[in-house]
Amino acid sequence: MQKQISLKGEVGMQGNLQMKVTRSAESWQFFAFVFAALYTLEAVLLQAVPWLWLRLLTQTLGFGLTFYATMLNAKARNWLVGMLTRIKELEQYTG
């Protein structure tokens, strides 16, 4: 005795999954760009600190704070994603 199983309907996902994946990848690229830009500016400005130990300490603290603000802090990340969304909307109207 064999049992037959039949499925009716479609199996799949609804919505624009491609858009979500692209937006997520763009967001992380944007976070990395902002982090690199801020840290580069910070490192250049801190070159004026006269003592090596103080310069290394301030650069390390600056790196940690910049990393936290751009990569780990949810409020800052949401603000950056909002900025990215506004930039993308402007790009649609001008491009």
pLDDT 10s digits, 6-32: 656 555 555 555 555 456 777 788 888
**Exposed / middle / buried, residue 29 (Cβ in 10 Å: 0-12, 13-18, 19+):** exposed
Residues 70, 38 contacting (CB under 8 angstroms): yes
Give, in degrees to the nearest 5, the angle at Cα 34 between 46 and 87. 140
Model pTM above 0.75: no
3-state class (DSSP) for residue 71: helix
For residue 80, what pLDDT is reported?
82
Residues 45, 39 contacting (CB under 8 angstroms): no
The DSSP secondary-structure symbol of 50 reads: S
pLDDT 10s digits, 60-76: 998 898 888 888 888 88
- Listed by start position, the domains of the chain span 17-94
Average per-residue pLDDT in the chain?
A: 78
